[in-house]
Structure 1
Amino acid sequence: MHHKDIKAQIRKQLKTQFPNWHRLTRKEKKEIARQVLEQVIENYDSSKEIATPVPDLIGLSDQQPTEGIMTVDQMAEFVAEHQSNPLLRLYGKHSSHPAIKDIELQYIDSLIDDRIVNKILAPDGYKPAIRYLFPCNMLRAEILKAIKYPEISYRKFCGDDKTYENHKETSPYIGMENKQNRAFIGLSLNRSEMINHVQMSQFRSSLSFTQMINLNVYILCLLQSKGLLDSFNVHFVDSTELAVDRQYLLAKFKIGNQNIRIYDDIDCDCGKRRNKRDKSVYVVGYRMHALAAINPENGQSIPLISLLAPANHHDSNFTLPLIQLGKAIGLDLKLITADEAYHDKDGSLLAQTGVHVIAPPNRKVTLPSNVDPETYQVTCGDFCEIAMDYVGSDSQGHEFKCAALPGQCSRMPVCPQCRRIEFDSGCFQPIPHATKGVSQAIDLRKNGERVFNLLKKREGLDYARVRGQHNIFAQSIFANAATLLIEMAGTRSTRPHLDRQLELLSAA
């Protein structure tokens, strides 16, 4: 853990002493990083107990639940209050513009209430009377890009690309000629109002963690109002890497078998990638750790909320932060299925959160003695042939009692008739692997891969088109919102509720 503590101290010093880090040249960054690294290592005392908070060690210092975060139920009350009180309108919700012909955009446009978005994302000193671009316009531009144009850059999307400058053309995506997209964003159709990539970058940078989570909660509130959230009662946790291109290694130091690396992006780091034949074993960037919901009836999965951390930290560090954030927004978390990286091997996670985590048994963990390797039935000793009954578990492990009837076992007078097996990451996790339904929950875990495929391949997170942990996290929030909005629209699915939604849309 000392190498993580050293990296956290270096990261803190660089951010504190050099707030304009991104404006420095690569040569200046390299010299500064080398000096800070040498200074921290020289003054570091490895004999002392680590005092740095765990969120700082794993790169989540700016992603902690705060008092301003609303639950889904609180958001529903907030929305109902503002929709019923005309005195609280910040920016009137326009009706669907006739220029919006795309059915998907029509439905999403009808879902998003600009007044609510402005209230959630309004910066300090927000005065709508002196601006022509509102938070809702910027959000709509982000949603539009994630839904329709995830593969292009922000410069190209806004028309700031050199291609358009040389040919004196405006953006074909939000320029004057594309009335549908301008109407969806809320730009004027008869005035040359535009959004440039600098404004979109400033919008992402200005959002606090609380605002981004509340935006996520607002989308979940819409999902709940459509009846698409209540049916999900099994949750899923996993992660995926988000590579950051063109990262330059500024300084490096090795402690034991651990490397301390400082890159141009201070927060990112080098970690191992999941096995992929066409890519390197290592990735420089971040890992997105997501909490998703899975419908056990049809296997449908949707993303709920996520955290973003450097790529070099083990997945097991993020189960507790994800559960804490999920509970902070009011999710009813009881059972989480995950892969082997998320084992609750000592039951501490269950004790802290009350949430059961089910993962495939670790192959390296051997079965306790006197346990059948096929049925996992437990017997009391080497000479016992009668399987014991499972009583339950406590903070120490699982308890079993003798199931022999009176007179059935000759060893009863000398047998303790009870046995305790401690928690492990094998077949005796807080919920034993032999319990009914565990194997089905583990199989459901595979459906969660759909979440990452949608976020990365369809909504454009596979390639980070922004820089910095804060901005990439904002992009992941927008991609998550886009995924849920598409799910509610149902235009890319053959689910039965699609016909009903289209009927409601046409009637409106």
Structure 2
Amino acid sequence: MHTKNIRALVKKQLKYNHPHWKNMKRKAKKRLIKQVMDEVINGYDFSQTVTLPIEELTGIEGQTPTKGIKTIEEMAKYVSNFHNDKLFDFDKKRKPFPEIIDKELKFIDDLFDDAIINSLIAPEGYSPCHRYVQPYQLFRMEILKVIKYPEISYRKFCTDEYFGRERKQNRRFVRLPLNTKEQIHHTELSHFRSRLSFTNLMNILVYILHHLYQSGCLANSVIHAIDSTELPSEINYPLCTVEVEGKKIRIYSDIDADCGRRRKKRDKSQYVIGYRMHTLSAINPLTGHCFPLVSLIGAANHHDSLFLTPVIKLAQALGIDMKLITADQAYHDSNGSVLEKTGVYVVAPPSEKAKLPDNVLDFPVRVTCNDFCDIPMKIMGCSGNGHEFGCTAAPGECIYESNCPKYRTIAFDNGCFQPIPTFHEEAQRAIDIRKNCERPFNLIKKREGLEQTRVRSQHGVVARSTFTTIATLLIEMADTRRKRCKKQDGQLDLFKVAG
């Protein structure tokens, strides 16, 4: 914990005392980091108790809920009332553009309200009459790249090959004039991403989530899931490495990135330098389809469990109603603290390292009161930090009745006795459907091209991942890429099997 605190202090000094860090040469960065690191370590008190919030220790303090973020319910009211104060609403009366032939782009173009998008992402003091390129055009350009051209660089994307006068569909989608050669330079997209605040990103995401919930893609009751995936950075070598208490502290030119263990993969290294994306998804239990909702971006060296509570709090700030979250073993709520802080139950497969409490038999789970009793007990509910079990013996059935307390409490753990015991049928169903939340990661990284982030800062990764999540939801809502197969006679519907 001290190493994380020291690294957080070094990052804080570099960010606030040296704002021109990105423009410095590599040798100057090395000298500066060495000086700052020595000052922090020499003045650090290792006997102190680390009291920094988990958001600062994990480097996600810039991704916490802020006052300006709208909920999904507030966004619905905002959208419905946005044009009420206008005498004429020209956007609703405009004819569809014949140049947009692609069904997917046509659906997205009809869905977007440029005036609303401008109001959500425009910078403070925005005056449209003095701008050649509007924020909604840059946003449309980002979405177009993610959906249609994820494999190319931004520099190549902003050329005649994709926005020449003959590319009428692309120009019309981005709202560029068809009778000129004017284009948007790739540096404008870079400045656009860097100037978007976290509040702007969350509000435009909520705008899309508002349409998702209205589209009918999700059922009335959904199961939420959380998982993570690594996002490698282009930076491979640290500028400074210091060993403290047997652990190494590495500082890279991207000071928010770090080196962490990668999940076991045959064709890749054991370690990854960069970030991890922790994503909350919604699974439709009737169809099995999974939709990414919101993500947090943290350094790759932090354990997944540290991000469970921050992700839930951010999702609740967006107005996402959650009761149960299914996850893998890295997100165990082993002591019930997540349930106490957020009111959300987390269920995960039991850890192989968890030991059964005394007088508990597995397969099936059978709880007895003590070493001398063979009568199984019944679960009565859960208290603050454990499950309460009561005796089911009939009067006169147990010979130890006079000396038996007839109840016992088993503390929460990361095995069978989680806040929702895994031997319950509902918990087992949630664990079985958890694998569905891995599909969006494959789409986000491979189809939408997030595996090559092409940005060199944490804020850039946050913006890029938000645009990618929005693009994924738009593709799912458009529903033009899913393979259609005719149902044969006697074939069961998926929702019947799932039910």
- Which of 463, 471, 477 is 2:460 aligned to? 471
Query: Where does 1:117-266 land on structure 2 (aligned, <5 Å)?
Result: 117-159=117-159, 170=160, 172-266=161-255
**Range with bigger deviation, 225-234 or 419-428:** 225-234
Q: CA offsets, 1:117-176, max 9 Å, x none?
A: 0000010111111112111100100000000011111001012xxxxxxxxxx2x11222
Which one-letter code corresponds to 1:122 in the other structure? A
Query: Where does 1:291-310 land on structure 2 (aligned, <5 Å)?
Result: 291-310=280-299
**Range with bigger deviation, 49-58 or 133-142:** 49-58
Q: CA offsets, 1:444-465, max 9 Å, x none?
A: 1101000111111111111111
- Which of 326, 337, 356 is 2:326 aligned to? 337
Aligned match of 2:490 = none
Contact (CA 8 Å) 1:232, 1:293: kept in 2 or not? no
Q: CA deviation at 1:83?
A: 3.5
Q: CA offsets, 1:332-356, max 9 Å, x none?
A: 1100000001111111110111100
Q: CA offsets, 1:394-427, max 9 Å, x none?
A: 1120110110111222221121111110111111
Query: Where does 1:381-400 land on structure 2 (aligned, <5 Å)?
Result: 381-400=370-389
Matched, 1:313 2:295: no
Where 2:163 maps in the other structure, the secondary structure is coil
Contact (CA 8 Å) 1:93, 1:115: kept in 2 or not? no
Contact (CA 8 Å) 2:234, 2:456: kept in 1 or not? no
Unpaired segments ≥5 residues, structure 2: 486-499
Q: CA offsets, 1:243-268, max 9 Å, x none?
A: 00134310011112321100010110
Where 1:240 maps in the other structure, the secondary structure is strand
**Range with bigger deviation, 26-35 or 136-145:** 26-35
Contact (CA 8 Å) 1:247, 1:264: kept in 2 or not? no
- Closer/same/farther in 2, CA of residues 106 and 221 from structure 1, 3 Å limit: same
Contact (CA 8 Å) 1:100, 1:184: kept in 2 or not? yes
Matched, 1:422 2:411: yes
Contact (CA 8 Å) 1:232, 1:294: kept in 2 or not? no
Where 1:369 maps in the other structure, the secondary structure is coil
Which one-letter code corresponds to 2:150 in the other structure? P
**Range with bigger deviation, 296-305 or 230-239:** 230-239
Which one-letter code corresponds to 2:142 in the other structure? E
Aligned match of 2:266 = 277
Q: CA deviation at 1:321?
A: 0.5
Q: CA offsets, 1:62-100, max 9 Å, x none?
A: 111011110001001000011333269798885431111
Contact (CA 8 Å) 1:89, 1:115: kept in 2 or not? no
- Closer/same/farther in 2, CA of residues 230 and 210 from structure 1, 3 Å limit: farther
Which one-letter code corresponds to 1:281 in the other structure? Q
What is the TM-score with the length of structure 1 in the denominator?
A: 0.93
Where 1:235 maps in the other structure, the secondary structure is strand
Q: CA offsets, 1:294-335, max 9 Å, x none?
A: 111221101000010111111001110011011101111100
Matched, 1:412 2:401: yes
CA distance in 2, matches of 1:193, 1:87: 33
Q: CA deviation at 1:177?
A: 1.9
| Count of matched residue positions in the alignment of Structure 1 and Structure 2 | 485
Percent identity between matched residues is 52
Which one-letter code corresponds to 2:85 in the other structure? N
- Closer/same/farther in 2, CA of residues 231 and 458 from structure 1, 3 Å limit: farther
CA distance in 2, matches of 1:87, 1:2: 61
Unpaired segments ≥5 residues, structure 1: 160-169, 497-508
CA distance in 2, matches of 1:203, 1:89: 28
Query: Where does 1:97-112 land on structure 2 (aligned, <5 Å)?
Result: 97-112=97-112
Where 2:263 maps in the other structure, the secondary structure is coil
Q: CA deviation at 1:232?
A: 4.8
Contact (CA 8 Å) 1:90, 1:128: kept in 2 or not? no
- Closer/same/farther in 2, CA of residues 6 and 23 from structure 1, 3 Å limit: same
CA distance in 2, matches of 1:241, 1:427: 29
Q: CA deviation at 1:104?
A: 0.7
Aligned match of 2:444 = 455
**Range with bigger deviation, 34-43 or 45-54:** 45-54
Aligned match of 2:492 = none
CA distance in 2, matches of 1:4, 1:483: 34
- Which of 457, 472, 489 is 1:483 aligned to? 472
RMSD: 1.6
- Closer/same/farther in 2, CA of residues 346 and 93 from structure 1, 3 Å limit: farther
Where 1:83 maps in the other structure, the secondary structure is coil
CA distance in 1, matches of 2:203, 2:162: 28
CA distance in 2, matches of 1:237, 1:321: 12
